[in-house]
């Protein structure tokens, strides 16, 4: 076995420890500004640093979190005590990686559909991130459901770029997190989401095969199969679990070691309950089913913090509680009563 492959397998092993998941703290400046605005907190380089330092220094976070996805800015920032922020994670035994895509742009010729930017110069950037201690990376593709979309062309184009990114990561010893997100926006049904998600995942794994990506050394970060947010008929956790597991069994090879779901706009409790329903089923799975949540982990902490340093401890307690509940969901041991403990 090559040294590079051993390195990738070691990282995958650390990220898929039973009962642990990934914290997505990779919001761009524009995205985190919107979230700060919602709690009346100023968005400056200093406040972004303070907030992420709060997250990463949460006592006991490493009991439930195996990895954290960073934004490029955070990889280089230092704490008030002049420690690099990623080092706060390393001290808790948490691996850190980085979001490497450059966001989405309209797909020319296909109204309503998008492509993700960032392949230009990616190989050089990956090398630099690895030198700075990153162990893994993440690339997000966005698929919308609407009138006449998604098209097969948009699905194929996004799948190709996800696979190109993944191949580059593995060549440089970084574990790729592959994130094809079918958006919740719209009034589509559970069945429509299931059909589109299945088509997307088929295309992604076909592209990964064509690019000779080693499936044992990547993580998949998909959406759960859920109705559109505006659909009149929402789904129970059991229905979400059944639809999602059916889709995954049809599309995701058993060689993939871990599936870390995105929350995709679900409420904190819904994202946890749906994950729990998948792990509480009597059916066995070839993959570890866990989480890679951003807002669904951070929202309670952000609400408690509100940009005030005096609220740091309360905010950390809120993050710890949410991480603990999702850890329980990874093991099928979450109950709604735990929300009030």
Percentage of residues in the chain with pLDDT exceeding 90?
A: 94
Residue of 99, 114, 138, 221 marked catalytic: 221
Report residue 340's pLDDT band, with 50, 70 and 90 as the boundaries: confident
68-115 confidence digits (pLDDT tens): 999 999 999 998 888 999 999 999 999 999 999 999 999 999 999 999
pTM reported for the whole predicted model: 0.96
pLDDT at 1: 52
- The DSSP string of 89-102 is HHTTT-EEEEE---
pLDDT at 91: 95
Percentage of residues in the chain with pLDDT exceeding 70?
A: 100
Pairwise CA distance, residues 33 & 53, whole Å = 17
pLDDT at 196: 98
Domain map (residue ranges) of the chain: 3-331
Residue 59, burial from CB neighbour count under 10 angstroms (0-12, 13-18, 19+): exposed
pLDDT at 298: 96
258-312 confidence digits (pLDDT tens): 999 999 999 999 999 999 999 998 788 999 999 999 999 999 999 999 999 999 9
Pairwise CA distance, residues 323 & 340, whole Å = 14
179 is known as an active-site residue = yes
Q: What are phi and psi of 22, to 5 degrees?
A: -115, 135
CATH topology of domain 3-331: TIM Barrel (3.20.20)
Whole-number Cα distances in Å, 96 to 6, 71, 304, 306:
18, 11, 25, 25
Mean pLDDT taken over the chain: 96
Q: Are 142 and 181 in contact (CB under 8 A)?
A: yes
135-178 confidence digits (pLDDT tens): 999 999 999 999 999 999 999 999 999 999 999 999 999 999 99
- Read off the pLDDT of each residue in 230-256 and give the average, rounded to a whole number: 97
27 is known as an active-site residue = no
Residue of 113, 179, 181, 198 marked catalytic: 179
């Amino acid at each position: 076995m090559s040294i590079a492959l051993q390195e990738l397998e070691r990282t995958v092993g650390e990220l898929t420890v039973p009962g642990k998941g990934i914290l997505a703290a990779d919001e761009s400046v524009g995205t985190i500004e919107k979230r700060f605005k919602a709690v009346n907190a100023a968005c400056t380089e200093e406040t972004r640093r303070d907030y992420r330092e709060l997250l990463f220094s949460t006592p006991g976070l490493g009991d439930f979190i195996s990895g954290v996805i960073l934004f490029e800015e955070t990889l280089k920032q230092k704490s008030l005590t002049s420690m690099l922020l990623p080092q706060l994670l390393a001290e808790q035994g948490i691996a850190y990686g980085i979001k490497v895509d450059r966001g989405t742009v309209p797909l020319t010729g296909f109204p309503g559909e998008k492509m993700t930017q960032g392949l230009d110069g990616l190989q050089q950037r990956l090398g630099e991130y690895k030198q700075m201690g990153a162990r893994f990376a993440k690339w997000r593709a966005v698929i919308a459901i609407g009138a006449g979309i998604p098209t097969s062309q948009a699905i194929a184009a996004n799948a190709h770029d996800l696979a190109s990114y993944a191949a580059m990561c593995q060549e440089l010893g970084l574990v790729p997190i592959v994130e094809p997100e079918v958006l919740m926006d719209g009034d589509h049904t559970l069945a429509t989401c299931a059909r589109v998600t299945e088509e997307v995942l088929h295309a992604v794994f076909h592209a990964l095969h064509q690019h000779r990506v080693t499936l044992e050394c990547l993580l998949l970060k998909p959406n759960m199969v859920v109705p559109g947010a505006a659909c009149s008929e929402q789904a129970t956790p059991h229905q979400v679990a059944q639809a999602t597991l059916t889709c995954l069994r049809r599309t995701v090879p058993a060689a993939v070691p871990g599936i870390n779901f995105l929350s995709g706009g679900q409420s904190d409790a819904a994202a946890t309950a749906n994950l729990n329903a998948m792990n509480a089923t009597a059916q066995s799975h070839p993959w570890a089913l866990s989480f890679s949540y951003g807002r669904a982990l951070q929202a309670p902490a952000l609400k408690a913090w509100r940009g005030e340093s005096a609220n740091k401890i309360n905010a950390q307690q809120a993050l710890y509680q949410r991480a603990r509940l999702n850890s329980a969901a990874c093991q099928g041991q979450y109950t709604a009563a735990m929300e009030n403990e």
